[in-house]
């Protein structure tokens, strides 16, 4: 969670200006983004690799679907493998393909995938001399459906949550500062994990989208995976995967960021795994996004909203996951929501929490800081643009917040399981019901404006 965002009014004005209306979103069935998919005459076509199980995620090869070097990610990443030079520091670009939710576009894409026609087109164009190599998107074979929802939700297990956290919060990740080679390795890990559980990349797009994410405009990646629905709307499940890097001195210099926010990313990946295996496809697409630069002032989510790869008016809700690893020991099945009463999203959360015995309270029920945290995480740029968006966390901010003691060994993954399963139920409920949440009269006025229908062509 970001410690300081700045003046809320100025942030709101800046985000609202970024997402000003500029025309409807259009998607044609045969639409392509030529610079992303056009292959040279000598390009080779290969069969896609088999999808690995989640259990093998501790040692995987990166899916080569983005304009970044292809390297292997192990758990944990060794210090020797990390470069001292951030390859993207000199790359400044916020352009990216659109995520089109027109059913005819995505249905055709996924039918081809399900028939085994996924194509891997390597080396679309020569790389700049000092820049990363650009590569075409890689399609992923959809996950096989489990027989029922409870079987799918049972995939959310303590050992899998811990595995993700231990990789992302390892000392070798050096606190995942934005930008850094370690943050890029974390992006690779998240992108590969999304592919392994069966998430599709954005149509005609890349799993990792390069955006200006550093405090001085340095670039890093937002990471995107999709469970396609049959309709044009979408639900976003988000979490930031960056943290604050290293201290200048001390015996332990690494701000591991296990709770903040490897726990949120781990929850997002396990929700993705469960819902990718749900017995029935959702009506609305479910889009999972891991943001860079949250600790630099919500830069990754601001970049997404300012240059949206999906029309903001298509978004039914944004469920942002933040610091779920330290539930209150006195009430471990209680989660809290920033600005809970600002919208009717609470109805979906309450309904989905009951089977797991989980309650969702307003942050103010946990503490004063938690009650004033609505503008401190990646839900805020979306809310400022009119999209119903809240952050869900568990437990009060404690002495480990933004401290070198925020390590994987302190994360209570057993207590996380029912909360994450409840959030998975809520996400699926949002993606399948006809109703959609809306702002209430308690929401600040800037949030109740209609979201823009603009998305980047």
CB atoms within 10 A of CB 140: 25
- Quote the CA–CA distance of 106 and 127 in Å, as a whole number: 29
So what's the pLDDT on residue 99?
59
* Tokens 């469970």 sit on residue: 227
So what's the pLDDT on residue 12?
40
> For residue 234, what are the β-bridge partners?
285, 315
Helix ranges restricted to H, 136-262: 149-153, 158-168, 181-196
Q: Which of 298, 304, 267 is nearest to 162 (CA)?
A: 267
- Quote the CA–CA distance of 254 and 241 in Å, as a whole number: 15
- Fold for 8-448, please state it: Aminopeptidase (3.40.630)
- Quote the CA–CA distance of 292 and 210 in Å, as a whole number: 10
Which of 71-75, 103-107, 293-297, 425-429 shows the lowest per-residue confidence on average (mean pLDDT)?
Answer: 71-75
pLDDT digits (tens, 9 = 90+) for 228-287: 999 999 999 999 999 999 999 989 999 999 999 999 999 999 999 999 999 999 999 999
User: Which tokens in the block code for residue 279?
Assistant: 């017995």
Question: Do 184 and 87 contact (CB within 8 A), yes or no?
Answer: yes
Q: Which residues contact 181 (CB under 8 A, 6 or more apart)?
A: 82, 83, 84, 85, 86, 87
Task: Specify the 3-state DSSP secondary structure of 431.
Answer: helix
pLDDT digits (tens, 9 = 90+) for 153-208: 999 999 999 999 999 999 999 999 999 999 999 999 999 999 999 999 887 678 99
Backbone angles phi, psi at 317, to 5 degrees: -165, 155
Helix ranges restricted to H, 207-249: none
> For residue 320, what are the β-bridge partners?
238, 391
Mean pLDDT throughout 399-414? 96
Check whether 65 has a pLDDT greater than 90. no
pTM: 0.76
- Quote the CA–CA distance of 104 and 230 in Å, as a whole number: 9
* Tokens 């998107």 sit on residue: 137
Mean pLDDT throughout 417-435? 98
């Amino acid at each position: 969670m970001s410690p300081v965002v700045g003046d809320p009014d100025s942030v709101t004005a800046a985000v609202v200006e970024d997402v000003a209306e500029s025309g409807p979103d259009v998607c044609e069935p045969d639409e392509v983004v030529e610079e992303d998919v056009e292959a040279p005459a000598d390009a080779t076509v290969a069969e896609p690799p088999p999808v690995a199980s989640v259990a093998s995620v501790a040692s995987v090869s990166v899916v080569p679907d983005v304009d970044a070097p292809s390297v292997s990610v192990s758990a944990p990443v060794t210090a020797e493998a990390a470069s001292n030079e951030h390859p993207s520091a000199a790359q400044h670009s916020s352009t990216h393909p659109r995520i089109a939710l027109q059913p005819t576009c995505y249905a055709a894409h996924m039918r081809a995938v399900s028939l085994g026609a996924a194509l891997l087109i390597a080396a679309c164009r020569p790389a700049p001399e000092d820049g990363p190599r650009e590569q075409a998107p890689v399609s992923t074979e959809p996950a096989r459906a489990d027989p029922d929802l409870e079987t799918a939700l049972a995939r959310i297990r303590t050992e899998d949550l811990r595995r993700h956290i231990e990789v992302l919060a390892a000392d070798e990740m050096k606190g995942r500062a934005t930008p850094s080679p370690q943050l890029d390795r974390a992006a690779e890990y998240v992108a590969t994990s999304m592919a392994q559980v069966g998430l599709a990349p954005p149509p005609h797009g890349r799993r990792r989208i390069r955006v200006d994410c550093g405090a001085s405009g340095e670039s890093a990646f937002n990471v995107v995976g999709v469970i396609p629905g049959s309709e044009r709307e979408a639900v976003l499940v988000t979490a930031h995967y960056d943290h604050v890097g290293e201290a200048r001195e001390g015996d332990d210099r690494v701000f591991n960021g296990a709770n903040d926010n490897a726990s949120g990313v781990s929850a997002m990946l396990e929700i993705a795994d469960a819902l990718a295996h749900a017995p029935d496809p959702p009506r609305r697409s479910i889009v999972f996004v891991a943001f860079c630069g949250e600790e630099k002032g919500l830069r990754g989510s601001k970049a997404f909203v300012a240059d949206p790869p999906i029309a903001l008016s298509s978004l039914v809700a944004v469920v942002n996951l933040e610091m779920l690893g330290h539930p209150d020991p006195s009430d471990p099945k209680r989660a809290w929501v920033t600005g809970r009463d600002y919208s009717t999203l609470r109805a979906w959360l309450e309904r989905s929490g009951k089977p797991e015995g989980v309650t969702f309270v307003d942050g103010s029920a946990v503490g004063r800081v938690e009650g004033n945290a609505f503008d401190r995480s990646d839900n805020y740029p979306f809310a400022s643009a009119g999209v119903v968006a809240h952050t869900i966390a568990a437990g009060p901010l404690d002495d480990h917040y933004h401290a070198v003691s925020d390590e994987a060994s302190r994360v209570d993954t057993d207590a996380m399981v029912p909360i994450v399963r409840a959030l998975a139920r809520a996400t699926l409920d949002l993606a399948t019901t006809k109703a959609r949440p809306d702002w209430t009269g308690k929401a600040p006025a800037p949030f109740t404006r209609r979201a823009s229908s603009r998305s980047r062509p």
